[in-house]
Amino acid sequence: MRSRERPVSKMVAACAKDESVRLQSSGGGIFTVLAERVMDDGGVVVGVAQTASTRFGHIVVENKAAVF
């Protein structure tokens, strides 16, 4: 029996150009860059935030001033 070839997976890597954003992030700052772009284009960003010392909940962010 002949082994089947697996399709090659493609990988993309990215990080924020702004060093201060990268240093404050655990993943290279790419979420910050993407979230800012979404809000600049009139969209909203949905995420999870700590709402109390032991509670977390979903939040909707409509503009950069609310977070950054």
pLDDT of residue 36: 92
For the stretch 5-64, pLDDT in tens is 888 889 889 999 999 999 999 889 999 999 999 999 999 999 998 888 889 999 999 988
pLDDT of residue 8: 84
pLDDT of residue 33: 93
Domain boundaries, the chain: 19-66
Band of residue 2 on the pLDDT scale cut at 50, 70, 90 = low
Total residue length of the chain: 68
Q: Within the chain, where are the H helices?
A: 19-23, 30-40
Are 29 and 21 within 8 A, CB to CB?
A: yes
